[in-house]
Amino acid sequence: MSSPVSDPFPEQGSANGLLREVQRLATTGARAVEPFSHGGEHYLAVPQLAADHPGQPAAITAGNSDVSLIVYRWTDGLFAEHQRLPVPGGEDAEFFAIGERRFLATASLRAGAGPYEMRIQSTVFELRGDRFEPFQSFDTYAAKQWTHFAIGDQHFLALAQGVALPGAQGENRRSAIFCWDGERFAPIQEVSSAWGYNWLHIEVGGEHLLAYADHAEPSRLLRWNGRLFEPFQSLDGASGRAFCAFGSAGEQWLAFANLHADTLLYRWSGTRFVPHQTLSGPGGREFEWLPGSTADAEGRLVQVNFIHGTREAPRPSLRSFIHAWRADRLEVVDSFATSGGTDAAAFTIGGKRYLAVSNSLGADVRFRADTLVYEIL
């Protein structure tokens, strides 16, 4: 187990014992965790936004973004570094399959160490043997996240991108949706956007919906009409970050994380998602749904919190939550320390369930912060 530079995670697990720490990975500005399996082996991809740059003050907008994405492989009960991929300013990694082929879509926010270039390429890699090689590159602007999904035999990639900063309006790009044409991904649709962050494909009520989170414009749901995605429903809240859709307690639910507003839970009414509950106040960044076990039939919702405050004065040392059903509401039943937490992903190896959690900032607002791997108890 690697040792952290500082110790923002002193508990070795969660407050009420639902998580037990297994390993700390020495990452820097980690923005996502993507577990996947192939050929009987288990892997974890971690894109990194930036490393601390000598002479620069501590700031969430600083650092050297000419860094790599790290692919780890599970070996003797721990993750060991397997491969590094050239993914500057890494924000996301999405592993998916089309037939017998395996891909890893990566999103690059920026390159350089200041001034930064946000108009750069984001690359989809293909897995050949046990190594990733470049397959297709896209011209992107402040790319945040790729989401792969399928409707029938059609495969799609949705890209969230853009940043609405002063002086950047002429440079900004809309978020976009691409479709597999048998050889590569071709653009089919742009989506009105300003500061795109996330997507989620949802099948509910006989519809294919695509949830889109935007920091500066209203987040919303789009509906597949057989040809394109059309407007379906606007969502409450501001500074949208992520979604999680799940079935539980006999209903279909949609959790919606907001950074500067409340994180919310919606219930499917049969025709649309209606507000059901406020899960927490500001800070929401990502989710992971843990399906129920024999002891917890309704499952649990992991909520990762990022920062309080602003980009200029962030407070990254927060508690992230594990929610469980109590009557008709989700309530916090456990919590764990995160430091600029960005993502959580569950996976199973050898009959044991694990949760990987990425942290992007130390308590001192430096980028060096460990990614943690927990066993779920």
Residue 8 has pLDDT above 80, yes or no: no
Tell me if 242 sits within 8 A of 285, measured CB to CB. Answer: yes
pLDDT, tens digit, for every residue of 269-325? 999 999 999 999 999 999 999 998 755 568 999 999 999 999 899 999 999 999 999
Residue 267 has pLDDT above 50, yes or no: yes
Residue 3 has pLDDT above 80, yes or no: no
Tell me if 143 sits within 8 A of 105, measured CB to CB. Answer: no
Q: Mean pLDDT, the chain, as a whole number?
A: 95
Rounded to whole angstroms, the Cα distance separating 295 from 204 reads 27
Residue 350 has pLDDT above 70, yes or no: yes
Rounded to whole angstroms, the Cα distance separating 213 from 209 reads 13
- Enumerate long-range contacts of 244-250, CB under 8 Å, 24 or more apart: 244/200, 244/287, 244/288, 244/289, 244/301, 245/200, 245/202, 245/204, 245/211, 246/289, 246/299, 246/301, 248/292, 248/298, 248/299, 248/325, 249/298, 249/325, 249/328
Confidence at 12, pLDDT banded by 50, 70, 90: confident
pLDDT at 171: 83
Of 2-6, 90-94, 186-190, 328-332, the one with minimum mean pLDDT is 2-6
Residue 6 has pLDDT above 60, yes or no: no
Structure tokens at 289: 């749904």
pLDDT, tens digit, for every residue of 208-220? 999 999 999 999 9
Confidence at 185, pLDDT banded by 50, 70, 90: very high
